[in-house]
């Protein structure tokens, strides 16, 4: 059983109290710990406008949970959130796959940059204080093209 990282976003009614938000979080936390998972981060985004109306509601209280655990854990959370009346909508997304793609792209660009620098007779990596001269070709070995975290 592999441990993966997931992002769970759920929406509660806009008039939810802090206590109601805490109850839903506690329910999720209890299920995560019971199934050997771990909540990495909880971010209440607050009251926001919905992309489209859900019944009579035009706004909702959004909460993001970053969870490390197995696929079975997420299936169980999904099942429980579907029957929970307080949750209007929820979405689970696996986030560790995106980080692997970002890291692979960053590594590929770095090795390509090092290869170009060696061909020009320069050290593979930039030295501290080394700036770009006006005669140096403008290629992708600077940080402008780094892929940021998703």
Measured between alpha carbons, how far apart are the two ends of the chain, in Å? Answer: 25
**pLDDT < 50 positions in the chain:** 134, 138, 141, 150
- Domain presence at residue 132: no
pLDDT 10s digits, 86-96: 999 999 998 87
* Paired tokens of 3: 């441990």
User: What total of structural domains would you count in the chain?
Assistant: 1
- Domain presence at residue 57: yes
Which residue range is the domain that position 46 belongs to? 4-95
- Domain presence at residue 143: no
User: What pLDDT is attached to residue 147?
Assistant: 54
User: What pLDDT is attached to residue 131?
Assistant: 61
> CA-CA distance, 145 to 150, in Å (whole number)?
15
Question: Which CB contacts under 8 angstroms, 24+ apart, belong to 78-81?
Answer: 80/27, 80/31, 81/10, 81/28
SS3 123: coil
Angle at 63 between CA 28 and CA 78, to 5 degrees: 45
Residue 60 near residue 88, CB atoms below 8 Å: yes
Give how far Cα 16 sits from Cα of 4, 7, 30, 88, Å.
30, 22, 20, 11
Which phi-psi region, left, alpha or beta, contains residue 93 (left: φ > 0; alpha: ψ -120 to 50)? beta
- Domain presence at residue 115: no
> CA-CA distance, 85 to 10, in Å (whole number)?
12
User: What pLDDT is attached to residue 148?
Assistant: 53
CATH of the domain at 8: 3.30.70.60
- Domain presence at residue 22: yes
Question: Which CB contacts under 8 angstroms, 24+ apart, belong to 41-45?
Answer: 41/65, 41/66, 42/66
User: What pLDDT is attached to residue 146?
Assistant: 52
- Domain presence at residue 88: yes
């Amino acid at each position: 059983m592999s441990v993966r990282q997931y992002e769970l976003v759920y929406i509660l009614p806009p008039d939810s109290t802090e206590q109601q938000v805490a109850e839903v979080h506690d329910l999720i936390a209890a299920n995560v710990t019971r199934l050997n998972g771990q909540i990495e981060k909880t971010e209440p985004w607050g009251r926001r406008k919905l992309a489209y109306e859900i019944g009579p509601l035009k706004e909702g209280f959004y909460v993001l949970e970053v969870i490390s655990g197995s696929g079975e854990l997420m299936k169980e959370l999904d099942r429980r959130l579907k029957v929970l009346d307080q949750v209007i909508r929820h979405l689970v997304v696996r986030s560790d796959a995106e980080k692997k793609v970002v890291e692979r792209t960053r590594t590929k660009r770095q090795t390509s940059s090092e290869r170009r620098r060696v061909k020009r007779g320069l050290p593979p990596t930039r030295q501290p204080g080394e700036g770009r001269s006006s005669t140096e070709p403008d290629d992708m070995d600077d940080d402008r093209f780094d892929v940021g975290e998703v």
